[in-house]
A and B are shown apart, each in its own frame.
Chain A
Amino acid sequence: MSTPDDTDDGDEPERLDGGVVDLQDPDESLDLGTSLSDRENITTDQEKYDARKIVTGEARYTADYRDRFPELAEARIVRSDIPHGRVIDIDTSGAEEMDGVHAVITPWDDVVPDTLYSPSGQSYPEPSPWDTRVLREHVRFVGDPIAAVAAEDRDTADRAARKLAVEYEEYDAVFDIWEATRPDAPRLFDDSEVENETTGADYERNLESHFEGELGNPERVFEATGDEQILETEWETPYQSHCVPEPHTSIVYTDEDDRYTVITATQVPYHTRRQLSHVFDVPIRDVRVVKPRVGAGFGSKQEMVIEPIALALHRKAGLPVKLECTRQEEFYAIRNRHPMALQFKTAVDEDGNPRAMDLYVRENSGAYGTHGMTVASNVGTKAMPLYPRVPHMRFAGDVVHTNLPMGAAQRGYGAPQGMFVVEAHLDELARRLGEDPVEYRKRHAVREGDTDRAAAILKDGDRFERTIRSCGIRECIERGADAIGYDDIDQPGAEHLHRGVGMALCAQGSGVAGKELGAAQLKMNEDGSFILQVGGVDVGSGNDTMFTQIAAETLGCEPDDIVVKSSDTDIAPFDYGAYASSTTYISGRAVQKAAADARERLLEWGGRLLEEPAENLATGGGEVYSEETGASVTLEEIGYESIYGDEDREHIMGQGHHATDESPPPFGAQFLTAVVDEETGEYEIEEMVFAADCGVAINPPLVEGQIEGGVHMSYEFATSGTLSFDGEGNPETLGFRQYGMPRPDEQPPIESIIVETHEPTGPFGAKSIGELPTNGVPPALSNAIRDAVGVRLTSLPIEAEDVKAALDEQPD
């Protein structure tokens, strides 16, 4: 592993104070004084916890639970086929008369609440508007759910759904984010149709939110700077589908205690429980949400998408109901990455140093506001912290409704759009200053010890300003440059072909600062193993594995000695869920604290059995041993003695929770080479390298998997994936065949590099990795094409015809 870059400052303990809530003074005791080389279960390639059941097909996802229910109704949603209007009537008689139909529900049904809520899987009250109803009379895009059917099988449900006759009153629709805010634009939301509005909402102008924040005095700097030192650029980014492997699926039934149980493909079991309770006005205690294996989320399941419809159908049908979305619905009716238009302006001083930055984003929120304002705000608060020493900054955004599918959380959460703009703009700026674009950014980028105010630019006060305690960004640049051969790029033989190299820096967070809670509990078994109950949600990335490593390292046993029971609201302690790259940093720390708590009891019992004071003792290798005498007792002996002993008995347990204002950014550098044909504009990305500083990588192969999967999504965003609509808002992208998700033979090779730093506030030095690598390919590709043929591409996806058009406009 690498050593800290010599341009980064070393650790300075005095930084570990200043104004931070729950700053980890317990950290050192939790680290147990072991140096990296002593660690047995951290930075190891522990086999993925669920690997064997996955490769044998025995892992159970929601739809696989069907065999538990002899009488399981299958469900289908009926969706709006107009972009804007009001449902006047639904004739359900044809469907209700069919054999095998158990329930048909419409917005007017008694079992369907008309409560306004936000489906966003966020903390309470959600920082997203309450603008959604379970089924919608007022429909706002092609795909809005208006009715649903449950029947004895899928085929009957499909046929019944097609028999529903829907009558609409049609309204004018708007599809463009600039037209939508004009006074004459059709209005999507009346005043009575939204509660819990977000910052700067103005629904008369279809404005879900307007926000702005400032550091220093950027306006004065721009006024005082000559035009030749100011660079202004404009950018556009499209919809991206999550292409989530497992379609949204839920099974809802009532258990023998007359409580609702929801088995569901979710990233947010606890938020879903609370939201179902509120929407249906039933006590939280009467709802149980269970997350089985989940076929990934990428943010699309950081939402309560279909659970309320399944629950309403269950209430009406009186039978367990399974609702499984189709792939077509996933593409046109569920959730997407928000499209955006962005403007960026910088001012440099006479030496070329950046003095001011001004970023504006106009986000297409689509028909509903879930994650609208929060994603848009992350465009700036994730990307601008790459350059926290720029003294004057402004960031503003407008979040606009249109009659198109809704955006929502998607891996990266605004950061990919932000990084595209900031990193391609700064590359352009460096080139115009006559500087090497990599060296320029290396010089100005964030350093360990920096105070980052940009992450808090939209917040009042200084509570969320942060100190950068770990930063390996320069080593990421150096190792990435070495791997791609930055200093030695050959040109192809043919004259019309040009090879370029591009680099983009990346940053993210580790959880939502000040809005997270993770909790965990360990229970010891007689044989020295443990049951770990943890709220942290593994939707595929390997968190359960990471939990076993952290627990084992702390307890002094093997990861295989930890049995994980996670993400069942009846069994596992609370957790906000799998989003914002929080699980290792927040839930992992909760596990570490629970394990430290249990370890104290192990030492106490070890002391009794060894007749030595607990402070002489340590754990390791499945034993409690004396550092003084070398005597030892196994965890199994402690397990039996503590439960069945003559003198005293105790069930050895440990509890921990973690909540913090900290959200240390992981950093990365994306490099790629591309060969561009100057005659046709066609280009080919040859190789992609991503070097990541995620602190200590607890499980390097799983970290590499996160990098490679993130780069895959980022590659798609840059080159191929988008949704298209006709002029009436009808979706034209309805399946994988129309959508450009890269297949194995279309995906250029990816090299992942792990640059280790030590984050003092993280579990065993870890930060996050899940979202970071989703950010880099669009700017790196724009930069590589600029390097190859001199044109700047500013709109995604970058297609050959765009490159050709830019080449044609280029002066000879």
Chain B
Amino acid sequence: MQVELQLNGEMNTFEASKTDSLLDVLRKNGYTGAKRGCDTGACGFCTVIVDDEPRNSCVIPAAKADGSTVETIEGLGSQTDLHPVQEAFVNHSALQCGFCIPGMIMRSKALLEENPSPSRAEIREGLSDNLCRCTGYEKIIDAVEDVAGSAAGQSGDSAVVTDGGGPE
């Protein structure tokens, strides 16, 4: 079957099998930023934004995703022009092995769009669907808090800009 996605700002049509999840479709087509951690929607490593909601793409059947708008880590900034959330994760050393980070960043971005100035407790709550084994979460929370702080300091919405890129 074919699955049509508005992916990072561009319309794409992908081949998919009946048993494929949205994560399978993304990864088979070179969008490998989302990681396979559990295939049961329990770890959050595959988090992408589907129709403005952060979702675990491993438990969304490809057929159900047909026609939706999907935003992945590939659609945020590039290595030389990072999105503010990505930049905060880099500046706070809020990453180690990095396997959970694309999902964590997508979740954080969605959280900040929903609530631009969350408290530390709200950040913990907002990220609670995403696991990280390396960092003890402290620096991740620092990073998200930092983005919230700088967004609050500015009047603009720099934390929600996307540039619609794709994987190389």
- Which A residues are within 8 Å of any B CB, using their own CB? 45, 47-48, 50-61, 63-64, 66-67, 153-155, 242-247, 293-296, 298, 324, 326-327, 539-542, 701-702, 704-705, 707-713, 735-737, 741, 743-747, 749-750, 752
Contacts and interface: CB of A to CB of B under 8 A. Distances in A.
B93 A737 contact: no
A61 B97 CA distance: 10
Given A295-B98, A701-B93, A246 B35 contact: yes
B97 A745 contact: no
Given A705-B139, A744-B137, A57 B74 contact: yes
A50 B136 contact: no
Contacts of A154: 24
Nearest to B95: A54
13 contacts: A55-B101, A61-B99, A63-B32, A153-B17, A293-B98, A295-B97, A327-B38, A701-B139, A710-B136, A736-B43, A744-B128, A747-B124, A750-B138
Contacts of B149: none
A708 B135 contact: yes
A737 B133 contact: no
B33 A705 contact: no
Given A60-B32, A324-B36, A539-B97, A744 B127 contact: yes
B161 to A, nearest CB: 15
Contacts of A752: 138
B113 interface: no
A705 B93 contact: yes
Given A50-B98, A64-B32, A327-B43, A56 B134 contact: no
Contacts of A705: 93, 96, 134-136, 139
Contacts of B124: 744-745, 747
A747 B131 contact: no
A747 B79 contact: no
Nearest to B105: A55
B34 interface: yes
A57 B90 contact: no
B139 A744 contact: no
Contacts of B92: 701
B39 interface: yes
B37 A245 contact: yes
B136 A709 contact: yes
Contacts of A326: 39
B5 interface: no
Interface string B27-55: 10011111111111011010000000000
Nearest to A249: B36
Contact of A54 (B37, B87, B101, B138): B101
Contacts of B97: 245-246, 293-296, 539-541
A242 B168 CA distance: 33
Given A57-B73, A744-B127, A736 B38 contact: yes
A122 B18 CA distance: 44
A55 B133 contact: no
A146 B73 CA distance: 39
Interface centre among A57, A67, A326, by most chain B C-beta atoms within 10 angstroms, is A57
B135 A709 contact: yes
Question: Which 9 pairs across A and B sit closest by C-beta, in order of nearness?
Answer: A57-B33, A540-B97, A295-B99, A708-B136, A54-B98, A57-B73, A712-B136, A245-B99, A296-B97
Given A327-B39, A735-B40, A744 B141 contact: yes
A53 B72 contact: no
Interface of B: 17, 19, 24, 27, 30-40, 42-43, 45, 72-74, 76-79, 82, 86-87, 89-93, 95-102, 105, 121, 123-125, 127-141, 167-168
A446 to B, nearest CB: 26
Contacts of A247: 36-37
Contacts of A701: 92-93, 139
B98 A59 contact: yes
B96 A296 contact: yes
Given A245-B45, A246-B97, A48 B90 contact: yes
Nearest to A47: B90
Nearest to A53: B79
Contacts of A704: 93, 138-139
Interface centre among A55, A710, A747, by most chain B C-beta atoms within 10 angstroms, is A55
Nearest to B30: A67
Nearest to A295: B99
Nearest to A701: B93
B99 to A, nearest CB: 3
A709 B101 contact: no
A750 B136 contact: yes
A56 B33 contact: yes
A749 B93 contact: no
A245 B36 contact: no
A750 B134 CA distance: 13
Contacts of A746: 128
Contacts of A712: 133, 135-137
B105 A735 contact: no
A654 to B, nearest CB: 28
Contacts of B141: 744
Contacts of A244: 133
A713 B135 CA distance: 10
Given A298-B133, A701-B93, A56 B138 contact: no
A52 B90 contact: yes
Contacts of B74: 56-57
Contacts of A153: 17
Contacts of B37: 245-247, 327
Given A55-B102, A540-B97, 20 more contacts: A47-B93, A54-B101, A55-B82, A55-B95, A58-B168, A63-B32, A66-B27, A242-B133, A243-B133, A245-B97, A246-B37, A293-B97, A296-B97, A704-B138, A708-B135, A736-B131, A737-B40, A743-B128, A745-B121, A752-B138
A50 B98 CA distance: 9
Contacts of B135: 705, 708-709, 712
A324 B87 CA distance: 31
A745 B36 contact: no
Given A57-B74, A59-B98, A296-B133, A155 B36 contact: no
Given A55-B101, A708-B139, A741 B32 contact: no
A151 to B, nearest CB: 13
Interface centre among A243, A244, A295, A707, by most chain B C-beta atoms within 10 angstroms, is A295
A61 B32 CA distance: 9
B96 A61 contact: no
B17 to A, nearest CB: 7
Contacts of B31: 57
Contact of A542 (B96, B101, B136): B96
B36 A741 contact: no
B99 A747 contact: no
B98 A327 contact: no
A51 B32 contact: no
Interface centre among B31, B38, B87, B131, by most chain A C-beta atoms within 10 angstroms, is B38
B96 A56 contact: no
Interface centre among B17, B89, B97, B130, by most chain A C-beta atoms within 10 angstroms, is B97
Contacts of A51: 89-90, 93, 95
Contact of B96 (A47, A243, A324, A541): A541
A154 B19 CA distance: 10
Contacts of B79: 52-53, 56, 58
Contacts of B130: 743-744
Given A327-B40, A542-B96, A55 B90 contact: yes
